[in-house]
Amino acid sequence: MALSGAVLPWITGLAVVLVLGGLIWGFFFTPNDFRQGSTVKIIYIHVPAAIMGSGTWFMMLAASLVWVIRRHHVSALAAKAAAPVGMVFTLIGLFTGAVWGQPMWGTWWEWDPRLTAFLILFLFYLGYMALWAAVENPDNAADLTAVLCLVGTVFAVISRYAILFWNQGLHQGASLSMDAEENVADVFAYPLWVCIIGFGLLFVCLVLLRTRTEIRARRLGALIAQERMA
């Protein structure tokens, strides 16, 4: 708690600077795309949000595995704390994707593998949070949600790599990749990287903040239970 309390203000400050800086750079100081027009500016929120949407689930998977193997309570609480953050990022990815898709594809939604997997991932986030809320015993809730997290990982993987598994659907491949022959142009890529790092740091600071809250809530619950037993 002492370490997270010390680093939290620094990470928060850096996240705010990078998110605002990246969005302002992308929105105000990059040109329109010759094919997509000004809708290309949606890339600075859609791509980072989608990366964090599925990335959060992988973090929750890692934390759930630590809980299952080592019974480390903080890891279970970190997974619980991350779920609403991942849910919001996934929702932003779905929303901005639909708003971008309408003028470019002519439709708000298409049952394409990547989009469908991402929608299912969003529903998994809702189910995960509902399960935590529904089970009274926190250890039982951590066990059950860890299993749910393992199952949901299938959709997190599909949502990220669907384009490699099924070469079909409206959604394009990765916009940025280390080994791709064709990436987005540098003028779009630089602010996009700033936004991706900013969203990543925003995720870290929100998860730290929420995990600290969960730890305090857990301590409060334990104290109340202890008093009742006495």
Partner 1 sequence: MIPFIFPDLGPYKVEVLSAYAGTILLLLALVVASIWQGRKTRARLDDYEARRAQKRDSDGDAGA
Shortest Cβ 178–partner 1 spacing (Å): 26
* Binding residues vs partner 1 (CB under 8 A): 23, 27-28, 32, 37-39, 41-42, 45-46, 49, 84-85, 88, 91-92, 95-96, 99-100, 102-103, 202, 206, 209-210, 212-213, 216-217, 219-220, 223-224, 227
CA atoms within 13 A on the CB side of 156: 22
Shortest Cβ 99–partner 1 spacing (Å): 5
Cα separation of 139 and 71, whole Å? 9
Shortest Cβ 146–partner 1 spacing (Å): 23
Two tokens, residue 222: 């334990």
For residues 96 and 153, which CB has a smaller minimum distance to partner 1 in the complex? 96
Residue 198 in contact with residue 48, Cβ under 8 Å?
yes
Two tokens, residue 216: 């305090």
For residues 84 and 127, which CB has a smaller minimum distance to partner 1 in the complex? 84
Shortest Cβ 224–partner 1 spacing (Å): 7
Nearest to 138 by CA among 70, 217, 208, 211: 217
For residues 113 and 211, which CB has a smaller minimum distance to partner 1 in the complex? 211
For residues 151 and 223, which CB has a smaller minimum distance to partner 1 in the complex? 223
Shortest Cβ 96–partner 1 spacing (Å): 5
Two tokens, residue 57: 């689930």
Shortest Cβ 167–partner 1 spacing (Å): 28
For residues 44 and 113, which CB has a smaller minimum distance to partner 1 in the complex? 44
For residues 85 and 117, which CB has a smaller minimum distance to partner 1 in the complex? 85
